[in-house]
Structure 1
Amino acid sequence: MASMIVTLCASGVAHADDAATRGAGIVDEWCRMCHQRVTDKPDRDMAPPFEHVVRRVGRDEAYFVRFMQEDHFPMTTFRLFDHEKADVVAYLMALQRQGATRP
């Protein structure tokens, strides 16, 4: 029984990692034309890196889920499928878990 629980938990983590990886690909394809990478030289004409976005107060999973459901002008509106939106949220949450929330 205990091994089954460990397997199920590991499976959930692997699924979350897969979603975050897919989300990173979506971000690279659709969002990088405006959002900088954290390693880029700061540019006031570009949107901030996602590593900075996830550090903002109140930016939890519920916030990002709501955000992905709305249009955000002047941001370009991309019509992502619901599963793609969920993958982007998984990517953002992975950034938080990787320590991006530390100052």
Structure 2
Amino acid sequence: MLNPGFITLSLAIGGPPSAIADQAAVQRGEKVVEEWCRDCHVRDGEDLSADMAPPYEMIVAVPGRDRAWFEKFLHEDHFPMTTFRLFETEKADVVEWLLDLQKRGK
């Protein structure tokens, strides 16, 4: 049985425990992206050049890109994209961040 104080605290800071855990994954995923991916991806609103990757807002807006698509993509090499050897937990967090970005874009 959950502690009533935990439930009250959970609801006070934004929702049930699963929503809090999801938000933590989103935040961790954003940190991974900022550390390893942002050097090559332009930011939304910047000019896209031939030597830069598209902004994430453009990537997540493509129809058909769902959890399964992002998970598969992160497990394959994509040249000339630099191949970073992320831990499985980091990949999962990046997927959560991408899905959150996708949800916010709608």
Q: TM (normalized to structure 1)?
A: 0.84
- State the distance in 1 between where 2:103 and 2:24 align: 15
Percent of counterpart pairs with the same letter?
48
Runs of 4+ aligned structure 1 residues displaced above 3 Å come to: none
Q: For the pair shown, which has the larger CA radius of gyration, 1 or 2?
A: 2
Matching residue of 2:37: 31
Residue 94 (structure 1) aligned to one of 92, 96, 100: 100
Q: Does 1:68 align with 2:68?
A: no
User: RMSD value over aligned CA atoms?
Assistant: 1.8
- State the distance in 2 between where 1:91 and 1:59 align: 13
**Amino acid aligned to 1:16:** D
Gaps of at least 5 residues in structure 1 are none
Q: TM (normalized to structure 2)?
A: 0.82
